[in-house]
Chains A and B, each alone.
Chain A
Amino acid sequence: MTDLLYSEVEEDLRASVRALFSDRAEPAALIARTETAEPYDLKLWRTLAADLGAAGLAVPEALGGHGASAREVAVVMEELGRSVAPVPYLGSAVLATSALLAADTSQAEVAETLGKLAAGTLIGALAVPLSAAPGAEFPSTVAAAADGTVSGRVRSVADASVAELIVVPAVGPDGPGLYTVDASAAGVTVAEAISLDLTRRIADVTLEKVAAKRVAGPSVAASALDTALVTAAGLLASEQLGIAEWALTETVRYLKERYQFGRQVGSFQSLKHRLANLYTDLINARATARYAADCLASGDDIAIAVAVAQARNSPIAVHAAEEAIQLHGGIGMTWEHPAHLYLKRAKSDEIAFGTPGRHRAALAPLIDLPA
C-alpha cells in the first residue's frame, strides 16, 4: 500500500540533514558566498554526502551505497529546498547517479563510478540542460566517434562547474549511448553561466574529441536517460515542497513579529487568509511529493505520479516564494534578506525537467484526456 507518511528512519535522516544545514548554511553566509569565487560549499557537500551518507541513499549496498530508496532521497531534497544550501546534490546524487544506476551496473566501470559517487568522493553531473523533460527525444547535440571520443556542446547543465565526472548522452555510429568523461580531461570546457538561481549554478559544457568510456549502449541509453530525468523530476517536487515550507514558516514568523497600525501584522484577516491559502498549497505539495517519492521507490504508477507532482508543486513553490517577498514588504525586496534566494530557486525549478504546462500535456494521454 502507498505510504504517504514519513517513517522514523526518514525523520531521523531529516533531523541530521536539517541540523547540518542550519549550522553550516546560514542565510547571511549563503548570500555572501554567492559573490565569491566559490559559490558552492564543497566542505558542506563532503559532510552531507560522505559523513551523513546522503549521496549514496538510493545506491544498493552491493555498489557501495546505503540501499535505501527515493523516499529517503526525497527527504534530503526537502531539506535542500528549505535551506537552498549550495551543494551539487541534484547533479551528482540524483542525476548522474540515477543515470548510472539505470545503465549496466554489472560493468566494472559503472560499478566503480557509482561507488565513488555514493561515497561522496566524486562529484558527478549529467550533461543535459536543466530544462530537459522526461519523455523528450534523445539529445543529438553530442556525437560519439568510432574512436571512442565525444564532441559537442550542452548548455545549462546543473552543477557542472564543480563536477569531476560528467555523464554524457551522445549519439554514436550505432545509435544513442551514455558515456562518462573526466571533467579535467583534454578537450573539456565548462563555462559557468550567470545563473538566475544563485545557489544552484548552470554551466555550458563543450567537448572536443574528449576521451570517453561508454557505459550504456543503444539498447539501454535512452531509457536510462529517461529514468534519470523522471527520477529527478519526481524528487524535485520534494525540493519544491521544502521551498514552500520555508516561505510559509518564515513569513508566519515575520508577521507575528512585526507591528503596524498598533497591531501584529499577522492579526489582519486579509493577510491571515493568504497564509491559510499557502498552508493549503503546502499540504497538497507534501501529499504529491510523498506520493511521487513512494512511487519512484516501488516502481508503480511513476509516470502519472511524477507528472502530477511537477504540475502541482512547481507553481506552488513559486507562488509561496512570491508571497514571502510581498508579505515581508520592503525587506523582502532586499539582497540582504534570503527570500530572493528562494524565489530564484523556485523559478528555476519551475523550468527544470519540464514546465508545469509540459507535465500537464504529458499527463493528458496517461489519464485519457486527449487534446
Chain B
Amino acid sequence: MTTVDDLKRRVADLLAAYPPESTPRQDFLDARFDAGLAWIHFPEGLGGLSAPRSLQSVVDKELAAAGAPDNDKRRIGIGLGMAAPTILAFGTPEQHQRFLRPLWTEREVWCQLFSEPGAGSDLAALGTRAVRDGDDWVVTGQKVWTSGAHKSQWAILVTRTDPDVPKHRGMTYFLCDMTAPGVEVRPLRQITGEAEFNEVFLSEVRIPDAHRLGAVGEGWKVAQTTLMNERVAIGGTEFPRDGGMVGVVAETWRERPELRTSELHDRLLKLWVEGESLRLVSSRLRQQLAAGAPGPEGSAVKVAFSELNQAASGLEIELLGDEGLRYDDWTMRRPDGVNFLGREAGYRYLRAKGNSIEGGTSEILRNIIAERVLGLPSEPRIDKDVAWKDLPR
C-alpha cells in the first residue's frame, strides 16, 4: 500500500535526480512518467504505482511547490480524460507500452473521431466503414465536431464493421494515426468566429489490426467506457469557490459598482449559490471516486454545469450594458483549446452554447440519468433489432 510518506520520498528522489531548474521540460515529464508519478492510480510501468487515486494531489502539490514543469492538461485533455482510460481498460500490453507514455508526456496529442453528420446524439447510427484487408482495415467515412484534430497525432475512432447486424453490435473501435494517408482535416468555423472543431474525412485510410481496441464488433462497449470517462472528466473537474464562469461575472460586479442593479444582484447571487453547490457536488464525486465507488452523478453534473455557464455568461453581457453590444474579435482562428477566460464576454456567451451539446447533449444525458440511474423504462424503439443497413436515414 502506497503511503503519503512513500509518495513524498519518491517525489524527492525524482527532484534530486532531475532538478527542475536544469532539466528540460520534456525530459522531466519522461522521468516523472517512468517514476510512476504521472497518474499514480495507473499500473506500475505505465506511469503509475497502482496507488489510490485520492493521493494524486499529494504528488501534484509537492511537484508544483518545487517549481517542476507539468503537462498541459488543457492541450491533452481528450487523451488524458478519454483515450487513456479506454486504452488502459481494453488495450493489449503492446498498446499500453506504445501509447500511454507519449500520451501523458504530451509528445502525442489525441482527438476523438466519434460524431458524424448523421450520428451525433444517436452515436450508434454511425456509418464510417472499416473493411478487413489482410492485416489491415480500410476505413472510409466522415467525422465531425472533432476538437483539436488539426494538432493531433492520434485519434480514438469508432467505425462500422458489420452493417448486417443491429447497429450497436456491428461497431469496432480503433486507434487511428492522424498522419496516415487518406486522413484530411478541414476546419469548421463556429458561431464564435474561430475554428476549434473540424470535419475529418477518412478516404481508404489503412489501420493495422494491431491498432484495433477491443474485439471486432465490440466497439459500442469500448465507446461506452470512453463516454463515461468523458463525463467523469467534465463533472469531476476541480475548481475553487468563486471560480469558473460565475467567478468572472462576480469579479466584474466587484470592480464595476456603476453597473449594479438590484435585479441583477439577486440573479448573480442565485448563480453564485448554484456554482458553489456544483463545486461541492464535484468535490463529492471526486471523494467517491477516491473511495473506489464512482457515483452516477457525472451526467447530471455536466447538465448542470452547462446551464450554469450559459446563465452566467448571459448575465455577464447584460451586466456590461453598452459594452455587451461589442465583440472582441471575429477573426477566424484555430486555437489550441477552449479558453473561456482568455477572451471577452461575448465569446464566453457564444461558446457556452456548445456546453449543452458537446460530450453528449443535455437531452441525451437526461435520458441516461432517467434510465440508468432512476431505472425508468426507455421510449419504445424501432431500431433495436433491425440490421443497421435497413434503418431509415
Chain A residues with CB under 8 Å of chain B are 2-5, 248, 252, 255-256, 263-264, 266-269, 272-273, 275-277, 279-280, 283-288, 290-291, 304, 308, 311-312, 357, 360-361, 363-364, 367-371
Contact = CB atoms under 8 A, between A and B. Distances in A.
Contact of A3 (B277, B281, B287, B297): B287
B272 A369 contact: yes
Given A288-B280, A364-B269, A276 B377 contact: no
7 contacts: A269-B379, A275-B369, A276-B365, A280-B304, A290-B284, A363-B269, A367-B272
A273 B370 contact: yes
A158 B270 CA distance: 28
A252 B250 contact: no
Contacts of B297: 283
A112 B45 CA distance: 63
A367 B268 CA distance: 12
Contacts of A287: 277, 280-281, 283-284
A234 to B, nearest CB: 14
B273 A312 contact: yes
Interface in B263-301: 265-266, 268-270, 272-274, 276-278, 280-281, 283-284, 287-288, 291, 295, 297, 300-301
**Chain B facing A: main interface SS:** helix
Contacts of B374: 248, 252, 272, 275-276, 279
Contacts of B363: 273
A280 B287 contact: no
A360 B283 contact: no
A268 B380 CA distance: 9
A4 to B, nearest CB: 4
A273 B300 CA distance: 11
B361 to A, nearest CB: 12
Contacts of A370: 257
Closest 5 CB pairs of A and B: A272-B370, A287-B280, A276-B366, A276-B369, A267-B377
B179 interface: no
B379 A256 contact: no
B242 A367 contact: yes
Nearest to A291: B280
A269 B367 contact: yes
B89 interface: no
B353 to A, nearest CB: 19
A9 to B, nearest CB: 15
Contacts of B366: 272-273, 276-277
Given A272-B371, A275-B370, A360-B266, A266 B377 contact: yes
Given A284-B278, A368-B254, A256 B284 contact: no
Given A272-B370, A360-B269, A369-B272, A266 B376 contact: yes
Contacts of A277: 366
Contact of A308 (B277, B284, B288, B375): B277
A267 B273 contact: no
Interface size range on B against A: 35 or more
Contacts of B277: 284-285, 287-288, 308, 312
Contacts of A286: 281, 284
A239 B250 CA distance: 30
A52 B92 CA distance: 54
B11 interface: no
Interface string B342-380: 000000000000000000000101110111011111111
B288 A5 contact: yes
A361 to B, nearest CB: 8
B292 to A, nearest CB: 11
A300 to B, nearest CB: 13
Given A280-B300, A283-B281, A371 B369 contact: no
B303 interface: yes
B370 A360 contact: no
A264 B274 contact: no
A363 B380 CA distance: 47
Contact of A256 (B270, B367, B377): B377
Contacts of A357: 266
Nearest to A316: B277
Contacts of B378: 267
Given A272-B371, A308-B273, A369-B265, A283 B300 contact: yes
A356 to B, nearest CB: 9
Contact of A280 (B242, B253, B262, B369): B369
Contact of B280 (A4, A361, A364): A4
Nearest to B303: A280
B260 interface: yes
Nearest to B282: A287
Nearest to A361: B269
Contacts of B268: 369
B254 A369 contact: yes
- Which has the most chain B C-beta neighbours within 10 Å: A268, A276, A360? A276
Interface string B203-231: 00000000000000000000000000000
Nearest to B295: A283
A23 B300 CA distance: 33
B250 to A, nearest CB: 6
B380 A267 contact: yes
A4 B376 contact: no
Contacts of B300: 276, 279-280, 283
